[in-house]
Amino acid sequence: MTDDAPTEGSLLSPRKIALQTVGFVVGVALLIWCIKTAFGGDGDEWRRIAHANPWLVLGLVGCTLVSMFVNGTLFWLVAQPMQRLGFRDMQWLNLVTAVLNYAPIRAGLIARVAYHLRVDRLSLLEIGAYLAAIAYTLALTVGSCIVATLIRPGIDGWWWALLLGQLALGGGLTWALMGQPLVARYGRGMDEMLRQPLCLWGAIGLRLVDIGAFVGRMFCAVAILELDLSGPETVLLGIAAITLSLNPIGRTGFREIAVAFVASQLVSPDLSNTELDSAMATLALVESAGEAMVAIPLGAICLLWYRRRWKNAKPSP
């Protein structure tokens, strides 16, 4: 095994545990502040939530289900060159990792690596290459959205042209680069995954659908609260949400407070600062709750599947 291969110890090193624990504590404090701010307004937002259109609530849930399914499919698709990961199992595993990412040390990655080691019999080198390929396509897609937004803040035809142009160029360059002998030598399997057109372009397409699900959930949250956000502004906020959810320190609190801040910069209503802060904090909580009320219960149920698969699999010799 090479020095740069992932190891079980590296996932649970004291430094990483300490950093993520501190991040979790800070995140909880931010979440409490966000909740307190949400309750600091005149209460209109909470009355709207209580009388929300059931179809909008179903929209929150539906967008989250789409996102979960797409992510599970994406992990399965990228790993196809290994031909050892089942489609259904990858869906269940994705739900397990989703619920465990709410833990103080974001245990989702640890659970995923441990499962692949014990149940799928993948080597640490294979897992590292597999996760690197996933991270690369994520960075390419989300990064293209961010660059397009910085160049063209309004979501219009030019924005889509910039986005699709970047993805076409980035995907083409990736395919060509992965075929180079030097990359093949040091790619450690990642090059084989991204060299296959179905894996590469499928991952990019699925990630765009995932971003669309984030945006759809944000549209539902904005509609429930009847906020004065235009369509392009809501799209920008959805892109911000998926970008901010990638925070490596911790998920809880950081995403909510950041979404509330970004939303407050997009809105110029005739509201006091207190009312504005309350409305935007409530929006962040509703959008985040739309994910949590799917990921937590379904993930908790899938933990039973995970436990059974773990017990039935014999440890590697």
Specify the DSSP element, H or E, that contains 209: helix 197-225
| Residue 164, in any domain of the structure | yes
Of 44-48, 99-103, 136-140, 262-266, where does the model show the most confidence?
136-140
| Residue 171, in any domain of the structure | yes
| Residue 35, in any domain of the structure | no
- Our count of domains for the chain comes to 1
pLDDT value at position 10? Answer: 55
pLDDT digits (tens, 9 = 90+) for 130-153: 888 888 888 899 889 889 888 887
CB 176 within 8 A of CB 170: no
pLDDT value at position 11? Answer: 57
| Residue 32, in any domain of the structure | no
pLDDT digits (tens, 9 = 90+) for 17-58: 777 778 788 888 888 888 888 887 666 778 888 888 999 999
DSSP string covering 93-159: HHHHHHHHTTSTT-THHHHHHHHHHHTS---HHHHHHHHHHHHHHHHHHHHHHHHHHHH--S-SHHH
| Residue 167, in any domain of the structure | yes
pLDDT value at position 149? Answer: 83
pLDDT digits (tens, 9 = 90+) for 272-296: 566 777 888 888 889 888 999 999 9
pLDDT value at position 60? Answer: 93
| Residue 260, in any domain of the structure | no
Give the Cβ contact number of residue 317 at 10 Å: 3
Print the domain residue range for 106.
56-248+266-273+284-312
| Residue 136, in any domain of the structure | yes
| Residue 114, in any domain of the structure | yes
Higher confidence at residue 241 or residue 202?
202
117 Cβ contact partners less than 8 Å away, ≥ 6 residues apart: 8, 124, 127, 316
